[in-house]
């Protein structure tokens, strides 16, 4: 019996080792393949296809100022000067911005608290509904248990009465079935 267990354990270990090796090859194999193939093509290209470097007669690349000449005239101070809302926003003091941010966070937290209170009230309502159903089930179970105990007591009483009548019948000569 123990021999069979050790054989199956050995087979399981070999299967796990084989699975691990196949998985590792599946993950690392493609990368190793392409690296190996790239190494071979580089060696082959150096030995067979050594060509002289290309000589280009290309014009120099255009500068940013040549592409968009008006871009050099823009400055950061001009940014948003045409937008009245942005201008008003930029003129606000840092403290005003922080105060506004705090008010926004407060309103978000109030909304979150309101949502959580609604969720809690719903959970309490559902919980009390389940508690009422559980109370009904407990009451029904108690009633059934009382009825079972009552029926069991009646059955015991009936069996005693049956034995008494059977004993009387045998005394009077009844031989039974």
Tell me which residue of 36, 40, 59, 60 sits closest to 48, measured CA to CA. Answer: 40
**Rounded Cα distance, 58 and 61, in Å:** 9
Total number of domains constituting the chain: 1
Q: How many CA atoms lie within 13 A of 111 on its CB side?
A: 6
Q: Is residue 137 part of a domain?
A: yes
Q: Is residue 151 part of a domain?
A: yes
Q: Is residue 113 part of a domain?
A: no
Q: Which residue range forms the structural domain that includes residue 139?
A: 131-171
Q: Is residue 27 part of a domain?
A: no
Tell me the pLDDT tens digit for each residue of 106-138.
999 999 999 999 999 999 999 999 999 999 999
Q: Is residue 53 part of a domain?
A: no
Tell me the pLDDT tens digit for each residue of 2-42.
566 678 888 889 999 999 999 988 888 888 888 888 776 65
Q: Is residue 107 part of a domain?
A: no
pTM: 0.34
Q: Is residue 153 part of a domain?
A: yes
Q: Give the model's confidence band at 64: pLDDT under 50 very low, under 70 low, under 90 confident, else very high.
A: low
Q: Is residue 41 part of a domain?
A: no
> H or E segment at 172?
none
Tell me which residue of 29, 53, 33 sits closest to 41, measured CA to CA. Answer: 33
């Amino acid at each position: 019996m123990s021999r069979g267990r050790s054989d199956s354990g050995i087979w399981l270990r070999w299967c796990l080792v084989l699975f691990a090796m196949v998985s590792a090859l599946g993950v690392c194999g493609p990368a190793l393949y392409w690296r190996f193939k790239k190494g071979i093509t580089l060696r082959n290209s150096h030995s067979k296809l050594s060509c002289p470097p290309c000589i280009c007669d290309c014009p120099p690349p255009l500068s940013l100022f040549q592409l968009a000449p008006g871009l050099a005239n823009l400055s950061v101070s001009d940014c948003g000067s045409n937008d009245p809302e942005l201008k008003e926003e930029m003129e606000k003091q840092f403290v005003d911005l922080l105060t506004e941010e705090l008010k926004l966070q407060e309103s978000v937290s109030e909304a979150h608290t309101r949502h959580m209170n609604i969720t809690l009230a719903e959970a309490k309502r559902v919980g009390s509904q389940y508690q009422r159903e559980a109370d009904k089930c407990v009451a029904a179970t108690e009633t059934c248990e009382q009825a079972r105990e009552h029926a069991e007591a009646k059955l015991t009483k009936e069996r005693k009465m049956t034995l008494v009548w059977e004993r009387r019948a045998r005394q009077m000569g009844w031989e039974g079935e």
